[in-house]
Amino acid sequence: AQSVTQLDSQVPVFEEAPVELRCNYSSSVSVYLFWYVQYPNQGLQLLLKYLSGSTLVESINGFEAEFNKSQTSFHLRKPSVHISDTAEYFCAVNRGTYKYIFGTGTRLKVLA
């Protein structure tokens, strides 16, 4: 069975510091990988996705994630965070259908 593990439930980090949010998945077949972000009192928004090709994918607001097949990981990174990045981040996979498996989320708290 597939599963997605986000080991860190909360990550506090100071503004302008780098951050990494970890995501590991288990699947015996190829999957599509996603990071969604949920700002306070809002729905989930797609941050970035890996479908195929280059293992490094980037978002428009400076986040990037690298697909590592051997480690079955899809960690999310940003070299310098802003207060506005404070949100909950969800890692998710699907097997080429609309049926997602979500991680439990990581709450990123950026401190001034």
Tell me which stretch binds other proteins (CB under 8 A): 15-23, 35-43, 59-67, 75-83: 35-43
Q: Of 50 and 78, which CB lies nearer to other proteins in the complex structure?
A: 50
Phi/psi of residue 85, each to 5°? -80, -5
Q: How far is CA 24 from CA 60, 67, 69, 88, 90, in A?
A: 23, 10, 10, 17, 12
Q: What is the x/- site pattern for other proteins, positions 52-81, by CB under 8 A?
A: ------------------------------
Report the C-alpha gap between 21 and 7 in whole angstroms: 9
> Rule CB under 8 A: which residues touch other proteins?
4, 9, 32, 34, 36, 41-46, 49, 51, 90, 94, 96-100, 102-105
